[in-house]
Structure 1
């Protein structure tokens, strides 16, 4: 599957991994990853290590995740983004909304 998720054994954090193109085609699978579980107390990690592309619909999906997880109070980290994906996130000012490492 192109979008996978794991809840930590203690249930306190959720990791979502996106593989391939992160675009509208992944919308349903991405949303199901975080809607099936209660919002974890230590937040959500979105791992983009294997993401090859990110478009505006992916940015929208990240915003929907943020809203679901508590909006301004949400703790969401985006990790392992390629330099191209980091540029897109920076241009979109997502570094102000998410921790990007």
Structure 2
């Protein structure tokens, strides 16, 4: 399941994923950010993610490209141990700010 919350004051769009972050989330994940306006930063809340696969990594890269690539302001927040390990193995710490 994917939900998004926009804070008008800060301009931050928070996207929260719950359960399996895989291809079944693709449409909901893309819709969470593609229709948002006036967004200056993105937080992807991974605190409730129980599984992450290569399609999820691809979706994060799509968000990064959409948000401005190297100029994007995206944080992957509350990544648990296993999810954090996968992100590090994929070298995502070089592309995103990752917090536990």
- Residue in 1 that maps onto 2:94: 96
Once the two structures are superposed, the pairs formed by residues 67-86 of structure 1 within 5 Å of their partners are: 67-86=65-84
Moved >6 Å (runs of 4+): none
- When the two chains are superposed, the root-mean-square deviation of aligned CA atoms in Å is 1.0
1:59-94: CA deviation from partner (whole Å, max 9, x where unpaired): 000000000000000010001111000010000000
Structure 1 length-normalised TM: 0.94
- Residue in 2 that maps onto 1:18: 17
- Residue in 1 that maps onto 2:63: 65
Structure 2 length-normalised TM: 0.95
Q: Which consecutive residues of structure 1, in runs of 5 or more, have no partner in the other structure?
A: none
- Residue in 2 that maps onto 1:3: 2
**What SS class does the counterpart of residue 34 from structure 1 fall into?**
helix
1:2-37: CA deviation from partner (whole Å, max 9, x where unpaired): 100001032611000000000000000000000011
Number of equivalences: 99
The 8 Å contact of residues 39 and 69 in structure 1, kept in 2 or not, is answered as no
Distance in 2 (alpha carbons) for counterparts of 1:97 and 1:75 = 10
